[in-house]
Structure 1
């Protein structure tokens, strides 16, 4: 359940994530309709937005913070499939396919999240070709990225997977307030993201730090030699 603290409800067209989302394809009257009918709430770190297997009733849009999408393995371990940044949508696959959620969404950093009812998104999908085309492309890219990620987990050594993950996460975390893309992630979540255990993730990060490729400060990871980290990835391609 979202935290009902008082806060300024984001205005769609004034939202700093607006131009990074598919809503920038909306016409003025479409944006106004969404703005009038959406609900917004603060979610605290660790809160679940939706569970795998639950029904979808609309679309979530991340205004601020970070959210992880994960599945639970048979042994009870999390497998993080994606980390979502401001401007990204949550739950669009289930919405378009009219199926239950296939992943669980949990807040990694305190977040403001907007919810748009299903009927509005369905209408927009039918009436705005650029929006619907963008949604299909986004869904296709998500599927392609997931397949590639699972392939790498199966065949690429952990060192290569972590190097690649850090380069991807740098772009996810990069904002105007964080131009260096410093990654704020627990070692448990990093391990879950690349399909390994916490102890191995810590060991590989220590090696990368000693090689001058990254620096660390508590949960924060900063890439200081992107070219070197890229070479680590390419060793295993």
Structure 2
């Protein structure tokens, strides 16, 4: 992890996001005075579940894995965090700790904005507040979809859904599968690593995917979609 200052090559002058464009000049200055630019290296923790949360992260570039940690080293991957996403919005509205951990899959440049500054802007700028609340709702909606998948789908359906989800990032992040261990893919589906490996081989045998070293190529997305729905 490295704090970025104005003389660094990675320094970003402006916050290039639609929600920040809704701010008045003095509000933009509030954000600028309350933020720190940080470069997280691949493998660094952006947040740690249960740690004190004094800031919200805005991802400028890079990709990260968001997950909840359980007992005995178990974890469940919730989603891939991408450029333009916020991390830690729950700290603005309720808890003073992070609800989940986030680990960088690639190098990630992020703005750490003090949560009190975000809360102030939500209160005084309706359009900005609406955008932040919508993002918070979208994150919660994703969690409900994840819960439904875990509760009502069999292992093959959950893994098929996971492969399609991860593959949706491949156009912007071609090596996305190579950035994930088999265990991490299994953690997206909520199954054991052993079960994931067996199902991947079964999917390959059926001609649905191609396994090439650490990479996975989707050959029949339509059939995978059917399995994700009915599996």
Short-chain TM bin: 0.7 to 0.9
Q: Distance in 1 between matches of 2:160 and 2:52?
A: 36
Q: Distance in 1 between matches of 2:87 and 2:50?
A: 15
SS at match of 1:147: helix
For the pair 1:3 / 2:2, whether they are aligned, the reply is yes
TM-score by length of 2: 0.85
Give how far 1:220 is off.
Answer: 3.0
Contact (CA 8 Å) 1:85, 1:173: kept in 2 or not?
no
Q: Which runs of 5+ in 2 are unaligned?
A: none
For the pair 1:12 / 2:14, whether they are aligned, the reply is yes
Aligned length: 227
Residues 114-129 of structure 1 mapped to structure 2, 5 A cutoff: 114-129=111-126
Q: Which runs of 5+ in 1 are unaligned?
A: none
Give how far 1:90 is off.
Answer: 0.6
Residues 105-184 of structure 1 mapped to structure 2, 5 A cutoff: 105-175=102-172, 178=173, 183=177, 184=179
TM-score by length of 1: 0.83
What stretches of structure 1 move > 6 A for 4+ residues in a row?
none
The aligned residue for residue 225 of structure 1 is 220
Contact (CA 8 Å) 1:171, 1:181: kept in 2 or not?
no
Larger deviation: 82-91 or 197-206? 197-206
For the pair 1:93 / 2:90, whether they are aligned, the reply is yes
Q: 1:111 to 1:218 in 2, by over 3 A?
A: farther
Q: Distance in 2 between matches of 1:37 and 1:173?
A: 34
The aligned residue for residue 80 of structure 2 is 83
Residues 62-81 of structure 1 mapped to structure 2, 5 A cutoff: 62-81=59-78
Q: 1:210 to 1:3 in 2, by over 3 A?
A: farther
The aligned residue for residue 193 of structure 2 is 198
The aligned residue for residue 185 of structure 1 is 180
Q: Distance in 2 between matches of 1:217 and 1:30?
A: 50
Contact (CA 8 Å) 1:94, 1:100: kept in 2 or not?
yes
* Coordinate RMSD, CA, aligned: 2.5
Contact (CA 8 Å) 1:182, 1:221: kept in 2 or not?
no
Q: Distance in 1 between matches of 2:24 and 2:225?
A: 40
